[in-house]
């Protein structure tokens, strides 16, 4: 009993230990071995064999190789595409542009030229006594030079005379009115005002006194210094009637001129902008109202030009907004649309520079783009003129569409378009459209010249030639030319050899013998053989017909002719001769 219990206890312990080991193995990290397995391994005896299991080829390397080839192919294609793009960009950027002579142009016009040709302008400004303000004085690249798109051209634009330039004050008191005016013009003086008055001491035409109102300079004057000069009119005529000066501020300009004409005074109008006084109204007058003056006195009126209007920059405005803004400012505008490299609806240019002073009466032209694409329909079946007129209308708006035509023979009428390489699609401006135009159907030139010595039954006359040409749709041009051995009216020469291939509408020169008047013989009672033996077929185009009824005594003989005997007709005329049957016609059964 004791041994049995010992064995049983030992066995139960073994079972419990195994269960505990399994629990520990399940709880151990992956990759570690249990003590039992380690022991078991240590107890295992193995013999090392010389046999080695062959290594299974890996498909991963093949797949990587294919993937690499795809990557290399894609890289090659991508490189090619990039190379093509680079070539196109290089060609576009290296397209040569011939520089034009821009001197004397306005900046606005120069910018238009530059935008159209892809040139970038660099603007510099300089004062100039010779070149009008706003005009181009010089350019960095001479006219005629070839440059690339994207290149820079430097322009120098005149600011006009520098008004800050100072000059010594001349001896005005020793000068005449004409000398003062000449000095002012030569030195670009902008504010010299000359008035006249009577003087008993100073000779007429010479300066009595002057006044310079400019605190900016001392001992000299600037070009914009206000200078007032009074010139003598000589002694006053005491017998002259005096005129009371009105208040011109209360009068319209037309009334001012009427007053001056009626009273023989000189009226000088000077204009200046004023934000408050309406345009056309008098701001001031050189002689106060109610003062007395004599005939010939000069009165200067300063008249308002209204509020100064500065031309805005329309580049950021749509057509509708530009129209509204110009209307609010009182600037009349014209909208011009043309094709260009800009997108449709984009601003291109304005004829008056932004920021400049608007002068009443000027019309501002604003250009907008119609885009850089044109819809081209199919002109196949229409004439060449149709597509060329279409292109002409678009080119008037800057599209620059070119039509390139080749001719080929076909069954279509001459001048008809039978092929068009671009149709019912969208094309870019500056595109070329290739068309194939029908030159007409091919026909063979007939033989208009009969063997020499032929009669009119074989010879070709003008009438026959006309019929033959109409059938083939070629154009005959007849020329009279005598030719021995040929019949009157007979064609004896043709400018294009018989059998030659030509297109419909081709012109051919046919020479013929001038026709004559001939007397029609009496062919009655003559046989066909007698007529042919008499060479009458060299006088007429004879057509023989067998009569439908028997005529006694005229069997085989002519009993009727289409042209009356002994009358006159042209040689070669057609004459029909009716010959009687050889015997009476036997009626069919049932006929009487």
Evaluate if residue 68 carries a pLDDT over 70: no
Query: How far, in Å, CA of 29 to CA of 307, rounded?
Result: 95
- What confidence tens digit (pLDDT) does each residue in 120-131 have? 999 999 999 999
Evaluate if residue 55 carries a pLDDT over 50: no
Residue 31: predicted pLDDT: 44
Q: Quickly state the pLDDT bin for 69 (edges 50, 70, 90).
A: low
Where are any strands of DSSP class E within 240-310?
242-244, 266-272, 282-285, 292-294, 298-304
Average pLDDT of every residue of the chain: 84
Direct distance between the N- and C-terminal alpha carbons of the chain, in angstroms, rounded to an integer: 166
Place of tokens 């154009």: 475
Least confident of 91-100, 188-197, 494-503: 91-100
Q: Of 311, 245, 251, which Cα lies nearest the Cα of 280?
A: 251
Residue 542: predicted pLDDT: 93
Least confident of 70-79, 351-360, 431-440: 70-79
Residue 22: predicted pLDDT: 54
Q: Quickly state the pLDDT bin for 260 (edges 50, 70, 90).
A: very high
Number of neighbours of residue 63 by Cβ within 10 angstroms? 10
Which helix (H) or strand (E) segment is 477 a member of? strand 475-480
Q: What are phi and psi of 321, to 5 degrees?
A: -70, -40
Q: Quickly state the pLDDT bin for 54 (edges 50, 70, 90).
A: very low
Q: Quickly state the pLDDT bin for 85 (edges 50, 70, 90).
A: low
Bridge partner list, 121: 153
Instruction: Show the domains of the chain with their CATH numbers.
Output: 97-158 (3.30.10.20), 166-304 (3.30.10.20), 314-369 (3.30.10.20), 373-438 (3.30.10.20), 442-514 (3.30.10.20), 518-579 (3.30.10.20)
Q: Quickly state the pLDDT bin for 39 (edges 50, 70, 90).
A: very low
Residue 480: predicted pLDDT: 92
- 3-state SS of 404-466 is EEEEECCCCCCCEEEEECCCCEEEECCCEEEEEEECCCEEECCCCCCCCCCCCCCCCEHHHHH
Residue 80: predicted pLDDT: 66
Average pLDDT over residues 454-471: 92
Q: Quickly state the pLDDT bin for 56 (edges 50, 70, 90).
A: very low
Which two three-digit tokens encode residue 182? Answer: 């000449």
Which helix (H) or strand (E) segment is 374 a member of? strand 373-376
Contact status, residue 299 vs residue 270, Cβ threshold 8 Å: no
Evaluate if residue 236 carries a pLDDT over 90: no
Evaluate if residue 486 carries a pLDDT over 50: yes
Evaluate if residue 423 carries a pLDDT over 70: yes
Q: Of 378, 416, 371, which Cα lies nearest the Cα of 394?
A: 371
Query: How far, in Å, CA of 493 to CA of 452, rounded?
Result: 11
- What confidence tens digit (pLDDT) does each residue in 363-395 have? 999 999 999 999 999 999 999 999 999 999 999
Contact status, residue 397 vs residue 337, Cβ threshold 8 Å: yes
Evaluate if residue 534 carries a pLDDT over 70: yes
Q: Quickly state the pLDDT bin for 235 (edges 50, 70, 90).
A: confident
592 vs 336 pLDDT, higher one: 336
Backbone region of residue 399 per phi and psi (left: phi > 0; alpha: psi in -120 to 50; beta: other values) = alpha
- What confidence tens digit (pLDDT) does each residue in 436-450 have? 999 888 999 999 999
Number of neighbours of residue 579 by Cβ within 10 angstroms? 22
From residue 547, how far is each of 170, 191, 199, 577 by CA, in Å?
Answer: 125, 115, 128, 9
Which two three-digit tokens encode residue 162? Answer: 């520098």
Evaluate if residue 19 carries a pLDDT over 80: no
Strands 152-158 and 136-139: antiparallel
Residue 312: predicted pLDDT: 94
Evaluate if residue 61 carries a pLDDT over 50: no
Query: How far, in Å, CA of 425 to CA of 379, rounded?
Result: 12
Contact status, residue 477 vs residue 507, Cβ threshold 8 Å: yes
Residue 435: predicted pLDDT: 96
Residue 439: predicted pLDDT: 87
């Amino acid at each position: 009993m004791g041994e049995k219990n010992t064995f049983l206890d030992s066995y139960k312990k073994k079972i419990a230990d195994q269960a505990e080991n399994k629990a520990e193995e399940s709880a151990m990290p992956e990759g570690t071995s249990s003590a039992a397995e380690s022991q078991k391994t240590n107890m295992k005896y193995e013999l090392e064999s010389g046999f080695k299991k062959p290594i299974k080829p890996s498909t991963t390397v093949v797949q990587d190789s294919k993937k690499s080839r795809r990557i290399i192919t894609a890289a090659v294609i991508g490189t090619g595409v990039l190379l093509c793009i680079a070539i196109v960009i290089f060609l576009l950027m290296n397209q040569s542009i011939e520089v034009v002579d821009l001197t004397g142009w306005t900046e606005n016009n120069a910018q238009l030229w530059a935008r159209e040709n892809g040139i970038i302008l660099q603007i510099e400004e300089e004062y100039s006594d010779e070149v009008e303000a706003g005009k181009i004085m010089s350019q960095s690249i001479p006219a005629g030079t070839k440059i690339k798109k994207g290149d820079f051209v430097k322009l120098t634009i005149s600011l006009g005379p520098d008004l800050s330039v100072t000059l010594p004050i001349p001896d005005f008191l020793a000068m005449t009115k004409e000398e003062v005016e000449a000095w002012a013009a030569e030195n670009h003086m902008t504010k010299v005002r000359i008035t006249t008055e009577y003087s008993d001491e100073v000779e007429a035409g010479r300066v009595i006194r002057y006044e310079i109102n400019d605190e900016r300079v001392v001992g000299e004057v600037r070009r914009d210094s206000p200078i007032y000069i009074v010139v003598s009119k000589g002694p006053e005529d005491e017998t002259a009637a005096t005129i009371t000066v009105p208040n011109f501020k209360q009068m319209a300009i037309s009334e001012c001129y009427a007053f001056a004409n009626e009273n023989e005074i000189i009226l000088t109008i000077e204009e200046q902008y004023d934000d408050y006084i309406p345009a056309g109204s008098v701001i001031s007058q050189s002689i106060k109202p109610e003062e007395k003056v004599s005939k010939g006195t000069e009165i200067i009126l300063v008249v308002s030009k209204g509020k100064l209007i500065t031309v805005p920059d329309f580049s950021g405005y749509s057509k509708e907004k530009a129209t509204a803004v110009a209307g609010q400012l009182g600037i009349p505008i014209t909208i011009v649309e043309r094709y260009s490299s800009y997108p449709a609806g984009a601003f291109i240019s304005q004829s008056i520079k932004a920021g400049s002073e608007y002068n009443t009466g000027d019309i501002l032209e604003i250009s907008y783009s119609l885009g850089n694409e044109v819809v081209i329909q199919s002109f196949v079946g229409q004439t060449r003129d149709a597509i060329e007129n279409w292109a002409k209308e678009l080119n008037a708006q800057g599209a620059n569409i070119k039509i390139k035509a080749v001719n080929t023979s076909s069954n279509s009428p001459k001048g008809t378009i039978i092929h068009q390489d671009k149709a019912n699609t969208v094309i870019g401006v500056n595109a070329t459209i290739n068309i194939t135009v029908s030159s007409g159907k091919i026909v063979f030139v007939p033989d208009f010249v009969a063997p020499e010595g032929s009669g009119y039954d074989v010879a070709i006359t003008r009438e026959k030639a006309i019929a033959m040409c109409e059938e083939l749709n070629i154009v005959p041009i007849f020329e009279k030319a005598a030719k021995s051995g040929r019949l009157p009216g007979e064609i004896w020469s043709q400018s294009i050899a018989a059998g030659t291939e030509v297109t419909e509408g081709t012109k051919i020169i046919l020479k013929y013998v001038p026709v004559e008047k001939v007397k029609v013989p009496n062919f009655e009672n003559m046989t066909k053989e007698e007529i042919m033996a008499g060479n009458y077929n060299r006088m007429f185009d004879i057509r023989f017909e067998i009569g439908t009824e028997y005529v006694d005594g005229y069997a085989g003989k002519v009993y009727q002719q289409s042209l009356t005997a002994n009358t006159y007709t042209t040689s070669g005329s057609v004459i029909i001769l009716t010959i009687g049957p050889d015997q009476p016609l036997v009626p069919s059964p049932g006929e009487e």
